[in-house]
């Protein structure tokens, strides 16, 4: 078996990618908004957030079962395990209403972000 | 620069419908655009297919069947079986791949989302295996989502070439009705990393995307494209599709 040595070009590209990630990671955090999942419902069901601003949505699942925060309008799908918290970054959003739902209990877990 | 004629595109579409019965291909015909997104706990069954029509060279077609699992919100691992054939030859199972997608940045947190694709491909034919790796980039632009992949490919094992090849794939998808969205895709090769531009080819064309929600939490996700060659080395016309069944 021949020895695998990454070519110089590949190393340079990967190094640039990783340095970009490191640079991005140092960016300032956007404002946080808390969203709770309780009894398979979102609390509150509607959240007013500032328009044209990136938001860090902290999804707190108080239920013992997992849930998936999902929104086609926000282009997000992310699973939060039972009794756990996940960040979901959205926006900047134009003014409007952006529905989201819990994919594991979509009959009850419905909500929306209102960007104003 | 050769442009695909409408007749070649229609022919490619027709032959794509007959893929199981026809002879042709290369697994590259069934290549897909990857996104730096993973869903924890999701099991995915995927079928991809593609057909490439060349002027003066054997046509190609390929199928890929894939089973994947989202280990966590940062890592999806997949087992991939490739079937491929060239014009006039019987099709064969070509390779078994172990494919991994890593999410390096939290989606939406930064100016651009970044992931990493890492694959090991074991060829069933006598000859070297192949390692593939490269960045997966994603940028949301208003209601559109743009993706760009670069993939470095290098043979490993007995008889392996010392060359590392670089290819790319991209797509642009306008978010709207999730059942049917419009966009474009492009695929191409850039040559070897020490001689970029030698032997390169490029193709692009319109694409459709969509998701159908089933009872329970399952989903069917699809995308398909018709591609036209943008230079003489590219396939004159190609069609490709990707069908995923997602379940928890």
Nearest to A103 among B110, B152, B217 (CB): B217
Integer Cα distance of B147 and B32 in angstroms: 11
Give the tens place of pLDDT for each residue, B58-73.
888 889 999 999 999 8
* For residue B81, pLDDT beyond 80: yes
Token pair, residue A10, equals 């590949």
Average pLDDT for residues B214-241, to the nearest whole number? 91
Cβ pairs A/B, distance under 8 A: 94
Q: What is the CATH number of domain B6-247?
A: 2.40.160.40
Chain A contact set for B178 (CB, 8 A): 72
* pLDDT band at residue A87 using 50, 70 and 90 as cut-offs: very high
Report pLDDT for B29: 85
8 Å CB contact of A25 and B157? no
Nearest to A104 among B108, B114, B217 (CB): B217
- How is chain B split into domains, by residue range? 6-247
Q: How far is B54 from chain A (nearest CA, A)?
A: 30
Give the tens place of pLDDT for each residue, B185-223.
999 999 998 888 888 989 999 999 999 999 878 999 999
Domains identified in chain A and CATH numbers: 32-115 (2.60.40.420)
Integer Cα distance of A11 and A86 in angstroms: 33
Q: Which residues of B75-97 are buried (b: 16+ CB within 10 A; e: fewer)?
A: bbbbebbbbbbbeeeebeebbeb
Do residues A72 and B219 lie in contact, with contact meaning Cβ atoms separated by under 8 Å?
Answer: no
Q: How far is B3 from chain A (nearest CA, A)?
A: 32
Compare all CA atoms of chain B with the CA of A77 and give the residue at the minimum distance.
B39
Kindly report the pTM of this predicted structure: 0.83
């Amino acid at each position: 078996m021949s020895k695998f040595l990454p070519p110089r070009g590949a190393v340079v590209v990967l190094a640039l990618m990783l340095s970009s990630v490191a640079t991005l990671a140092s960016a300032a955090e956007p404002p946080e908004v808390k969203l709770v999942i309780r009894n398979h419902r979102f609390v509150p069901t509607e959240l007013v957030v500032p328009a044209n601003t990136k938001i860090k949505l902290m999804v707190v699942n108080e239920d013992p079962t997992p849930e998936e925060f999902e929104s086609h309008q926000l282009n997000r799908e992310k699973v939060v395990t039972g009794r756990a918290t996940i960040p979901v970054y959205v926006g900047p959003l134009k003014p409007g209403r952006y529905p989201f739902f819990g994919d594991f209990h979509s009959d009850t877990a419905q909500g929306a972000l209102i960007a104003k | 620069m050769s442009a695909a004629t409408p007749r070649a595109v229609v022919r490619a579409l027709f032959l794509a419908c007959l893929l199981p019965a026809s002879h042709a291909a290369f697994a590259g015909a069934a290549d897909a655009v990857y996104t730096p997104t993973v869903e924890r706990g999701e099991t995915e069954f995927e079928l991809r297919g593609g057909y490439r029509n060349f002027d003066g060279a054997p046509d190609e077609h390929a199928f890929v069947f894939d089973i994947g699992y989202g280990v966590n919100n940062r890592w999806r691992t997949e087992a991939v079986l490739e079937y491929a054939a060239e014009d006039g030859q019987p099709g064969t199972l070509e390779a078994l791949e172990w494919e991994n997608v890593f999410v390096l940045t939290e989606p939406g947190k930064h100016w651009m989302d970044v992931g990493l694709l890492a694959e090991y491909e074991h060829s069933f034919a006598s000859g070297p295996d192949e390692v593939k790796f490269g960045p997966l980039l994603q940028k949301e632009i208003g209601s559109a989502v743009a993706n760009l992949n670069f993939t470095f490919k290098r043979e490993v094992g007995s008889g392996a070439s010392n060359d590392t090849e670089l290819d790319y794939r991209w797509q642009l998808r306008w978010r709207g009705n999730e059942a049917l969205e419009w966009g474009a895709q492009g695929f191409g090769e850039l040559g070897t990393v020490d001689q970029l531009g030698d032997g390169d080819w490029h193709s692009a064309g319109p694409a459709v995307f969509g998701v159908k929600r089933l009872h329970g939490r399952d989903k069917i996700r699809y995308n398909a494209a018709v591609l036209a060659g943008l230079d003489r080395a590219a396939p004159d016309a190609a069609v490709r599709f990707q069908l995923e069944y997602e379940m928890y």
